[in-house]
Amino acid sequence: MFCVYILRCADGTYYTGATKDIERRLAEHNAGRAAKYTRMRLPVELHYTESAGENWGETLKLEAKIKKYSHQRKAGLKQDDLGR
């Protein structure tokens, strides 16, 4: 099962990504071994996750959709806001 996630960085910005293993990916981000963006903004914390099913293509579409959200919209997201 794939998911899209939003991390809140130490500087207050948000990073959106997709993965199959959220716990592993969060650990990679906080170890500085994931995205270049988060490497300079540690530590990061998990802000939001959205289950995206078994299709990687659909997961990437959802990720692209969320990346276009404003900072305020991302800040206000709760677990059931997007719905599927």
What digits encode the pLDDT tens for the residues 62-83? 999 999 999 999 999 876 554 4
42 in a domain, yes or no?
A: yes
Q: Sign (positive/negative) of CA torsion 10, 16, 22, 24?
A: negative
Residue range(s) defining the domain that contains residue 34: 2-75
30-65 pLDDT, tens digit each: 999 999 999 999 999 999 999 988 999 999 999 999
| 83 in a structural domain | no
CATH of the domain at 34: 3.40.1440.10
Is residue 71, in this structure, part of any structural domain at all?
Answer: yes
Return d(Cα 11, Cα 3) in angstroms, integer.
24
Q: Identify the pLDDT of residue 30.
A: 97
The CA dihedral of 71, 20, 79, 40, to the nearest 10 degrees, is -30
In the chain, the number of structural domains is 1
Q: For residue 14, is it within any domain?
A: yes
- Measured CA to CA, the distance from residue 75 to residue 16 in angstroms comes to 12
E-assigned strands of the chain? 2-8, 14-19, 45-53
The answer to whether position 80 is within a domain reads no
